[in-house]
Structure 1
Amino acid sequence: MDSTGCVNQRRSYNGELCTIRYAGKVAGTTGEWLGVEWDDPTRGKHSGEHQGVRYFTCKSKNPTAGSFVRPSRAADKPRSFLEALREKYASEFEEEAARRKLGDAASGDSLHKPIAISGKIVEEVGFDKIRKQLAELQELKIVLLDGLRVAGVLAHEGSAEQFQSACKEIEQTCPKIVELDLSRNLLNRWRDVASICDSLKRLKTLKLNGNRMDPPVGEGLRFERITELQLDDTLLSWDEISALTYQFSSLTTLIASANQISYISSPLSSTITTLTLEDNEISSLSSLRQLVSLDSLSCLSLRGNRINKIYESSPDEASPLRFSKNLQSVDLSRNRIDNWLFVNQLSLVFPGLQTLRISGNPLHDQSVGPSIVTGLPEKTMTIDEAYMLTLSRIASLKMLNYGTITEKDRSNAELYYLSLIGKELSAFPESAAREILPKHPRYSELCEIYGEPVIRRATALTGSGVAVNPRSVAARLLRIAFCLRRELPNPGNSVMNQDNALKEEVKVKEIPRSFDTYQVKAIVSRLFDLAPYEFRLIWETDELDPVSKQNIDDEDGWDSEDESINPSEPRNSSAFVKREVELVDGTRDIGFLFQSDLTEARIRVEPRYWCKQCKIFIRDTAFERTQHEATGKHQGNLKRFLRDIHRDNERQQRETQRAKSEVERLRQTVSGNAAGKSGNAASWKPAAPAPQASPRPVSLDERKKQMAQLAEMGVAIPDEYRGDMALAGEWQTVSEKVIGADGEKTGPSLGVRKRKHEGDEEEEEAKREAERFVSKGWGSRTREYPGAQDDADLDALLESTKDVKKAKPSTAEATPKENDKEAADVPSKGEGDSAAADSEQMPQTEKEQSEAAAVPPAPMAKSEPEEASTGVIFKKRKPKVMRK
């Protein structure tokens, strides 16, 4: 078998595509062999070399791209263009039509054959309509024939007539194709590709990815209508690709990724606007110098290369690398960029750069800066930090990593970048600025926009002469002087001696700026032995605030001499006081309160105590306490506080007495003895307490003074003291006037009438509650109950009370007695003066009231004439005490 003519042919073995590179014998073996280069480089075993002898060379640089196969090995059957088209889009309909012609109706409709998955029938809905649309080949616009073993117009070599006939059939079958994908097929001749393109009059996009085309391009082949050409993984050299682009007169987009390109040795067609060279072996931007002449190039993708520098060697100042300003979009992601100097020069290489993608580079795996600059442990920068540091170095960027850059994003990023430059300048001496500033070409521009950053280089500590790195821990310490004014033991009560009575105590402490107010207060608490919440911290700044002098000097008092001041005299209208800032409790760092250049501060510690009556903090000085205790608010709160204590004590005593009474009643009930017997002492009562020394008796004046204070606080006053006190609202009847027969007879208002306070009403209500007895089960249901034998006196008293209620004296007996009493009570006019008569009449009136309460008056007889008498006295009856 002569196999020498099959070199450079494309074949497929079990779906694996390959190109025959050698046909012949191999030393050490018998028979003929075919040396093939697999499209999948991991499929082979070597690179065309066997036992030290090279039989062929592979285009792929992979060491396992080649192997040997026998010529007798069966290869997969190739297809023509139309066969692959019908196989992909119309195979089912053609099989069904052929089956119907043969009359094979028993085979069933394969198009509607049910699909079974795990024994379950799956019904297809709408797929028939899609198949019918795709089967209309003349309407197809996008055709994908990748991986269908297409060998060309014909599957095998044929005559010229067969070739022309196949081309016409292609034009008639699918005339509307706009996009054609022939990737990963068995194509190797440009003549077949050109014939297919000529047959498709509307074709614009051609994809030949993964094919292994012959290097020479036939003369006279033109691709007039193709605007986009994809040649990924075709292993064509750059010179072949460059020559090919000139045969596509309308080409605007060229994609030549994964072709092992390391250097651009020749220019491309000037019509190209988009160039993609991804996954190649380009190591520097200077390798693309031949593309500088493309004025229409607007988009360049270099993703997945090996780019890590701008120039391969030292830059040539005479001819610097500079692309056209029309090039606005560049993709440098997934390269090997590892320094910011590369990013700084991008604006010079691409002056019109507006869109950049640079993610996936080792540059973003580094830290923002060394610890000596940032003052933080070195760690990988975040996505936001990489984003800000990149866009701040290129002023013309409008989109970075597919994200639109807003004005706020740019200002934040540039301020952050400028602060890092300031920290770097501060970390090194001034002589190192000549080496630092060239690394940041936008420093001057950013300083004009935002101003120069604060630069704090290494300084010397006071008195020590030791230089301190501003990024060190020592530079982040704040030297604070805490001042506390304590009172002397006996300063005196004079207000003028107040300043002389205070002693200032100062303690200096170095505190990190990262401490919050709570931590600072804990330190002050330990320094001065104060409770954490019984003082406040006041920062005395050096700044002065203007304050009106009138607000400082004027007092609430007024003097007539003020009117004598001549208003025309000049007077200082304003003064200045030092600004004071209180350190409010919180978790915010004190470093936010003090400026970065401030290293020392003075903080005043003001003790304060908690006023229990007013529920507020007061400065803990004698003057402040005196002023506060003299206020009306404090006095009122103090009275309410004492009154509440007194009422709580009385309430507690009442509750205790009520509990004792209830316990005594229950014990009397259990023992069977009546309560209230004085002769029988309960056995449970404790022994009499031991005699104690009698306290000093309180004088009458002291007692009256105490009662007056209690009355001011609203506390109820005992009745024995109320008569000697002039209490508002309590009135007594001191005299009574009897109107003669000439005047109208009206009843006098007898009795004592008092207006009681709310506290008195509450006390009387509490007393009535304490005196109330609970009825027992045997009160009215049984005639005898435990202890009834000893209650003869009580029964007699109750019986007499019942008789009095039942008795109804006659009118004749009641009237004379009343008249006698009235006659005896009314004195004659000649006896003494009227004042003496009134004073003697008052006890008699009270006696009449008591008698009237015991015996009700009898009604007058109707037959006797009505005589003028005193008015009827109405008295509210007291409630009956329930029987025990």
Structure 2
Amino acid sequence: MGQWQACVLMRTCELCFPCSQLSKLQDVSLRSCAVNCAGDRGGIAAACPNIRNLDLSKNLLSLWDDVTDIADQLRHLEVLNLSENKLRFPPGAASPAGTFSALKVLVLSRTGITWAEVLRCAAGWPVLEELYLAANDIAILERPTDVLQTVKLLDLSSNQSIDENQLFLIAYLPRLEQLILSDVGLSSLHFPDTEIGCKTSMFTSLQYLVVNDNQISQWSFINELDKLESLQALSCLRNPLTAGSRADSTRQFIIARVAQLQVLNKCQILPEERRGAELDYRKAFGGEWRKAGGHQDPDQNRPSAEFRAAHPRYQSLCLRYGAPEDGELKTQQPFLLKNQLLTLKIKCPHQLDQKVIEKQLPESMTVQKVKGMLSRLLRVPASDLLLSYESPKMPGREIELESDQQSLQFYSVENGDCLLVRW
């Protein structure tokens, strides 16, 4: 049963296909089928020569040579999943030329492969685009030279030995667009080749970065991401920086600190959300800016180097929206008392299948922020939302929330009132 002979493969596939159709088969999954070798020479090519997508995960394959014996018979193979096979690799050339000539996606998670073995094998993956290396205890100790140059996605999740210095060794892969670094223990990041407000020469093609489940607790990490020339999407869930009850304000500050970001935690950043986030960020740190030497008069505006390092984008936001006025710099008291939170019902009159929900919102929350929260909750663009409210104290009357910049308190919204949401 352990050998992958032609007859075994045919018995597996006959469940769905008659024998005469096996040659047309393109997708095959043999996960957990106790496969341990290629079987008779040429048997796979005779039975299913046109396989393009092959899942051999969680089997008994132990030698990379067995993998190459299989792949050598599948000249059209584009996707290969070998995860959860404990593989041993030869010390010399790991793959005969042409064996993986069409391979675009390779999954080697939980195989025990080392970085040195990756680089040695990679010479035989000339068109590889996606490489998954999760949970291998990998440490990146060598810069790829003439290999992995076609890779667009690299998954290094759950490799706890990786740190920021090791990342610099893969920073010049020319086509790397997606980098997954979840659960690697990452806490800091600094691109030493460039100053504040400039773009780094590292990761120039990187568009999507995933750093979930790490130890990121400092805003300096987020500031550095603004140096990435092509970054458009970020996932930064379950980190100390993003934990707790301040999720909405944390999202705003990430948006404000990374100018080119278009998607955060898989939620699109619409233009009105970016504008609101940048204005709130500008206001929130206006007091610090003033104390550090900031001034409304451009000739006297000299914030300290320390402030500019902590808030690299603040000056550009002042140029875009104007420096904060004195009235904006008044310190607001934190919202700690229960009577500063409003318990409101939220109803969608035109969506009959939408249940009435209940939320606690600060009375100081602006209409714009309420729309942002509802946009994420209802998956509707904030620009499409029309808000009003009704109160038990004024039966039959509906009051529109017309200005995005005004607070719930401004409109006299009270505990127990009902927000009406239309789009």
Pair in the same fold by TM > 0.5: yes
Q: Quote the Cα distance in structure 2 between the aligned partners of 1:337 and 1:244.
A: 33
Letter in 2 for 1:294: L
Write out per-residue CA displacement over residues 419-456 of structure 1, whole angstroms, 9 at most, x where no aligned residue: 10114447x68699634443111111111111111346
- Match for residue 210 of structure 2? 331
Q: Quote the Cα distance in structure 1 between the aligned partners of 2:72 and 2:251.
A: 49
Distance 1:437 1:152, change over 3 A: same
The answer to whether 1:444 aligns with 2:315 is yes
The answer to whether 1:362 aligns with 2:240 is yes
Equivalent residue of 1:270, what SS?
Answer: coil
Q: Quote the Cα distance in structure 1 between the aligned partners of 2:314 and 2:324.
A: 10
Write out per-residue CA displacement over residues 686-737 of structure 1, whole angstroms, 9 at most, x where no aligned residue: xxxxxxxxxxxxxxxxxxxxxxxxxxxxxxxxxxxxxxxxxxxxxxxxxxxx
Q: Quote the Cα distance in structure 2 between the aligned partners of 1:330 and 1:361.
A: 14
What is the deviation of 1:290? 1.6
Distance 1:437 1:457, change over 3 A: farther
Q: Quote the Cα distance in structure 2 between the aligned partners of 1:439 and 1:203.
A: 49
- Match for residue 169 of structure 1? 43
Equivalent residue of 1:150, what SS?
Answer: coil
Equivalent residue of 1:229, what SS?
Answer: strand
- Asked whether the 8 Å contact 1:190–1:217 carries over to 2, the reply is no
- Match for residue 219 of structure 2? 340
- Asked whether the 8 Å contact 2:77–2:103 carries over to 1, the reply is yes
Question: Of 96, 106, 126, which aligns to 1:221?
Answer: 96
Write out per-residue CA displacement over residues 728-768 of structure 1, whole angstroms, 9 at most, x where no aligned residue: xxxxxxxxxxxxxxxxxxxxxxxxxxxxxxxxxxxxxxxxx
Letter in 2 for 1:196: I
Question: Of 403, 406, 413, which aligns to 2:267?
Answer: 403
Distance 1:455 1:216, change over 3 A: farther
Distance 1:453 1:315, change over 3 A: same
- Asked whether the 8 Å contact 2:54–2:80 carries over to 1, the reply is yes
The answer to whether 1:86 aligns with 2:10 is yes
The answer to whether 1:415 aligns with 2:279 is yes
Write out per-residue CA displacement over residues 207-262 of structure 1, whole angstroms, 9 at most, x where no aligned residue: 11111222315546232221221100011111111111111122222111111123
Question: Of 249, 254, 266, which aligns to 2:126?
Answer: 249
- Asked whether the 8 Å contact 2:129–2:152 carries over to 1, the reply is yes
Distance 1:234 1:283, change over 3 A: closer
1:477-876 aligned at under 5 Å gives the runs 587=412
Write out per-residue CA displacement over residues 278-312 of structure 1, whole angstroms, 9 at most, x where no aligned residue: 1111553332112122112122111222111015x
Letter in 1 for 2:311: H
Q: Quote the Cα distance in structure 2 between the aligned partners of 1:141 and 1:281.
A: 36
What is the deviation of 1:385? 2.0
Equivalent residue of 1:143, what SS?
Answer: strand
The answer to whether 1:259 aligns with 2:144 is no
Equivalent residue of 1:300, what SS?
Answer: strand
1:222-241 aligned at under 5 Å gives the runs 222=97, 223-241=100-118
- Asked whether the 8 Å contact 2:10–2:47 carries over to 1, the reply is no
Letter in 1 for 2:37: G
- Match for residue 147 of structure 1? 32
Write out per-residue CA displacement over residues 792-837 of structure 1, whole angstroms, 9 at most, x where no aligned residue: xxxxxxxxxxxxxxxxxxxxxxxxxxxxxxxxxxxxxxxxxxxxxx
Q: Quote the Cα distance in structure 2 between the aligned partners of 1:214 and 1:198.
A: 18
- Match for residue 788 of structure 1? none
Q: Quote the Cα distance in structure 1 between the aligned partners of 2:82 and 2:292.
A: 61
Distance 1:266 1:398, change over 3 A: same
- Asked whether the 8 Å contact 1:238–1:266 carries over to 2, the reply is no
Q: Quote the Cα distance in structure 2 between the aligned partners of 1:305 and 1:169.
A: 41
- Match for residue 393 of structure 2? none
Distance 1:316 1:353, change over 3 A: closer
Q: Quote the Cα distance in structure 1 between the aligned partners of 2:286 and 2:108.
A: 50
Equivalent residue of 1:151, what SS?
Answer: coil
- Asked whether the 8 Å contact 2:164–2:188 carries over to 1, the reply is yes
The answer to whether 1:381 aligns with 2:240 is no
Letter in 1 for 2:74: L
- Match for residue 184 of structure 2? 305
- Match for residue 137 of structure 1? 22
Equivalent residue of 2:131, what SS?
Answer: strand
What percentage of residue pairs aligned between the two structures are identical? 28
- Match for residue 76 of structure 2? 202
Letter in 2 for 1:80: W
Write out per-residue CA displacement over residues 365-405 of structure 1, whole angstroms, 9 at most, x where no aligned residue: 25xxxxxxxxxxxxx203x3222111110111122222222
Unpaired segments of 5 or more residues in structure 1?
1-76, 93-130, 155-165, 367-379, 459-468, 474-512, 515-584, 590-884
1:21-60 aligned at under 5 Å gives the runs none
Q: Quote the Cα distance in structure 2 between the aligned partners of 1:436 and 1:300.
A: 30
Unpaired segments of 5 or more residues in structure 2?
295-301, 335-362, 365-409, 415-423
Q: Quote the Cα distance in structure 1 between the aligned partners of 2:411 and 2:80.
A: 68
What is the deviation of 1:269? 2.3
What is the deviation of 1:271? 1.8
Q: Quote the Cα distance in structure 2 between the aligned partners of 1:408 and 1:200.
A: 51
Give the TM-score normalised by the residue count of structure 1. Answer: 0.34
What is the deviation of 1:264? 4.3
The answer to whether 1:178 aligns with 2:52 is yes
Distance 1:263 1:198, change over 3 A: closer
- Asked whether the 8 Å contact 1:167–1:196 carries over to 2, the reply is no
Equivalent residue of 1:80, what SS?
Answer: coil
- Asked whether the 8 Å contact 1:425–1:455 carries over to 2, the reply is no
Aligned residues: 325
What is the deviation of 1:169? 2.5
Q: Quote the Cα distance in structure 2 between the aligned partners of 1:400 and 1:326.
A: 18
Question: Of 241, 255, 265, which aligns to 1:391?
Answer: 255
- Asked whether the 8 Å contact 1:344–1:394 carries over to 2, the reply is yes
What is the deviation of 1:457? 11
- Match for residue 403 of structure 2? none
- Match for residue 274 of structure 1? 153
Q: Quote the Cα distance in structure 2 between the aligned partners of 1:472 and 1:192.
A: 67
